[in-house]
């Protein structure tokens, strides 16, 4: 059995501190945006305030999940708390869907009877919102490519950057044309953007929780690489899944000749190193077998099933 444990890097600890700062900045601005949205009677600003409030919740939960992930594994949770971030990402993205549905309903009501909007105040606040959202998004951008929890929070904030930019455009159009219906129209686009962001996170979170094979792993290529390791005659009972976005796990039975234990350990080490370097698998459990298996039947089913819908 070969294990290669990964630990939370210093980068994630830095992101945790930056995420806390982003949370405070966003919370303060939500209060400002709600007040000005009510004063200007702008649905776009109130919509963006609602989205920003979900960001406060998302950042708070993401921060807590990052703190939880730093706890060491124990007998009750041998993989530690790495899945906490996935659960938070799924929860955050699901709340985004509910918020988007509420936005669509309110936008529909305003399309039927567009209220007057104080466009000047709307533009000023929306411009400030763009700046605030860019700053908070950049604070947690580093590390988001390797952690689904951080990426979900980052996408929340980047969604705000685009939605507040839409609010600026709506305010300018209303200011010069008086077309108040532009305000709910922008809200619809914001809602669609929220749904698009949420769907990507929901899909990836569910895949991880269902222990699906990570999308960037080519099973056929992996099987070929394993069989190419000297001493390996075949592979079966191969399973690849993810604990979180960056921690990939594998278990497999390897067919070898009748070898001494020391030779088997060398084969395990070679396969583990190859899996880590070529396929990003950080934790491999390999069982050696030398009897009762037919090499021709070891991996054909995996290859055939690999072409089925996921």
Residues 125 and 258 in one domain: no
CATH number at residue 230: 3.30.70.1350
pLDDT on residue 252? 92
Domain span at 81: 10-209
pLDDT on residue 300? 43
The CA-CA-CA angle for residues 264, 269, 229, to 5°, reads 80
- The domain boundary residue, chosen from 209, 229, 251: 209
Cα–chain center distance at 63: 14
CATH number at residue 93: 1.20.1510.10
* Number of structural domains in the chain: 2
Strands (E), 105-171: none
Q: Classify 248 as helix, strand or coil.
A: strand
What distance in Å separates the CA atoms of residue 34 and residue 103, rounded to the nearest whole number?
15
Residues 195 and 297 in one domain: no
Q: pLDDT per residue over 273-304, tens digit each?
A: 999 999 989 889 999 987 555 544 444 454 45
Q: pLDDT per residue over 109-140, tens digit each?
A: 888 887 777 777 778 877 888 888 888 888 87
Residues 81 and 109 in one domain: yes
- Entry pTM: 0.66
The mean pLDDT value of the chain amounts to 79
What distance in Å separates the CA atoms of residue 168 and residue 121, rounded to the nearest whole number?
10
pLDDT on residue 91? 85
- What residue ranges of the chain have pLDDT lower than 50? 1-8, 295-300, 302-303
Residues 274 and 194 in one domain: no
pLDDT on residue 269? 93
DSSP letters along 166-218, please? HHHHHHHHHHHH--TTHHHHHHHHHHHHHHHHHHHHHHHHHHHHTTPPPTT--
């Amino acid at each position: 059995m070969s294990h290669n444990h990964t630990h939370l890097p210093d980068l994630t600890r830095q992101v945790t501190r930056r995420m806390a700062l982003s949370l405070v900045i966003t919370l303060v601005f939500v209060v400002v945006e709600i007040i000005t949205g009510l004063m200007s009677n702008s649905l776009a600003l109130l919509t963006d305030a609602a989205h920003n409030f979900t960001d406060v919740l998302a950042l708070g939960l993401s921060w807590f999940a990052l703190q939880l992930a730093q706890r060491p594994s124990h007998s009750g949770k041998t993989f530690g708390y790495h899945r906490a971030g996935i659960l938070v990402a799924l929860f955050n993205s699901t709340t985004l869907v509910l918020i988007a549905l509420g936005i669509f309903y309110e936008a529909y009501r305003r399309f039927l009877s567009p209220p007057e909007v104080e466009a000047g105040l709307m533009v000023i606040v929306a411009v400030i919102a763009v700046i605030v959202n860019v700053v908070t998004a950049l604070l947690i951008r580093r590390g988001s490519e390797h952690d689904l929890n951080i990426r979900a929070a980052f996408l929340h904030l980047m969604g705000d950057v685009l939605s507040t930019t839409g609010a600026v455009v709506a305010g300018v159009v209303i200011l010069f044309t008086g077309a108040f219906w532009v305000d709910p129209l922008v809200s619809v686009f914001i809602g669609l953007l929220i749904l698009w962001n949420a769907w990507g996170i929901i899909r990836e979170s569910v895949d991880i929780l269902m222990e699906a094979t990570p999308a960037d792993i080519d099973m056929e290529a992996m099987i070929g690489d394993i069989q190419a390791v000297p001493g390996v005659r075949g592979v079966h009972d191969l399973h690849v899944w993810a604990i979180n976005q960056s921690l990939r796990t594998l278990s497999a039975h390897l067919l070898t000749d009748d070898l001494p234990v020391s030779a088997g350990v060398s084969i395990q080490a070679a396969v583990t190193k190859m899996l880590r370097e070529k396929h990003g698998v950080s934790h491999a459990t390999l069982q050696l077998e030398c009897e009762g298996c037919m090499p021709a039947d070891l991996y054909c089913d995996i290859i055939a099933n690999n072409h089925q819908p996921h």
